[in-house]
Amino acid sequence: MRTLYATLFILIITAAQAYAAAGAAEGEGFSLLAIGFISFGVLILLFQFVPALLLIGGMVVALFKTTDKKSSGLASADKIA
C-alpha cells in the first residue's frame, strides 16, 4: 500500500510540473470585443468617480466651515417683523 501511495504521489508531482511548464497550452488572450466591453466598464466607473469626489469634497468643506451665530436666518426674520 505504501508503494502505491508513493507511486501516485510521484505521478501527481510529475503531472503538476508538466502543467506548469512554459510549453503548456496557453490562452488566446482577449478579443477586441472583450477589450471594448472592459474599457466601457472602466469608463462608467471613472464617470461615477468624478461626481463622488465632488460630493465628498463638498461634505468635507461643509463639515469644517465655520458659521456666524449672529447672522442666522431666524434672527434676521425677527428684525423685520
- State pLDDT tens for residues 29-80: 888 898 999 999 999 999 999 999 999 999 999 999 887 666 555 555 555 6
Q: What is the pLDDT of residue 25?
A: 56
- State pLDDT tens for residues 3-12: 877 777 776 7
**CB proximity list for 30: less than 8 A, separation 6 or greater:** 38
Q: What is the pLDDT of residue 74?
A: 58
